[in-house]
Structure 1
Amino acid sequence: MPLITIADEATGAPSGPEWTMEIGEETVRLDELIRRRVFLEVAESGARVDPGERTRVTLDAFGRNGFVVLVDDRQVTALDEQVRLYAGSRVIFLKLVPLVGG
């Protein structure tokens, strides 16, 4: 099964945490990829939070343009879009931070 890297980044800030995830299929919908990323983060953090609720909040944030998802440097814009993943693919969750004064 191919391994991909998932990273959190924010404009104008140092890179955040990175995870490695095993993917069993070549294509996956963006909303499913986001769900898997949230479940991975919750599992690794040991936090007592509901991953289903955290997923709902994260999908809502995507819909409000709170972050964008880049897969191998290509922006994925729709939750129902099929994302093609390869061994070594890099998925970046980029939080958008407003410009100062803007």
Structure 2
Amino acid sequence: MAYTLTIKDETFPGKVLHQMELALQNELVTVEDIIEARVNKEVEEYNKKLPQYYNGLVQPTDSEAMLNGYKLKERKKIDPEKQVYVALDAFLNNGYFVLVDNKQSESLDEEVLLNGSTTVSFLKLTPLVGG
């Protein structure tokens, strides 16, 4: 059974910039599992179509931040493993905060029990550069 999770990118005043649904296989997951699944889904969707802009948690290498997301200098597939590494590292260095049902997560191994209404918000503080 898959558990659906709503993921939101928000600003500090609470404005939602981007929202997506994420399916996870387990009812009990960690913050690290959520970040990894989110980044993998974003990279997978980008790599299928290779659009002009990448909209994701972490800025890929060889791209510049634009209003519509990150514009890659050359349209090429993004390495999901590298993006996950950079995203996890950014969490550890306060590059963004993760709120689970409006409560701030303190560590990557913090456990989250998913239910039908679990919402995870990502509050970005600075642009992140990765793979």
- TM-score bracket, shorter-length normalisation: 0.7 to 0.9
Structure richer in strand, relative to its length: 2
Identity %: 37
Structure 1 runs of 4+ with >4 Å offset? none
Structure 1 gaps, min length 5:
98-102
For the aligned residue pairs, the C-alpha RMSD in angstroms reads: 1.8
What is the CA distance between 1:84 and its match in structure 2?
1.4
Structure 2 gaps, min length 5:
51-76, 127-131
Instruction: Please list, as runs of the form range in 1=range in 2, the aligned pairs for 1:1-102 lying within 5 A after superposition.
Output: 1-11=2-12, 14-46=15-47, 47=50, 48-96=77-125
What is the CA distance between 1:34 and its match in structure 2?
0.5
Higher relative contact order (CA 8 A, sep 6+): 1
Question: Which protein is bigger by CA-based radius of gyration?
Answer: 2
What is the CA distance between 1:13 and its match in structure 2?
7.9
**TM-score for the superposition, normalised by structure 2:** 0.66
Q: Is the Cα contact below 8 Å between 1:26 and 1:84 reproduced in 2?
A: yes
Structure richer in helix, relative to its length: 1
CA distance in 2, matches of 1:64, 1:44: 27
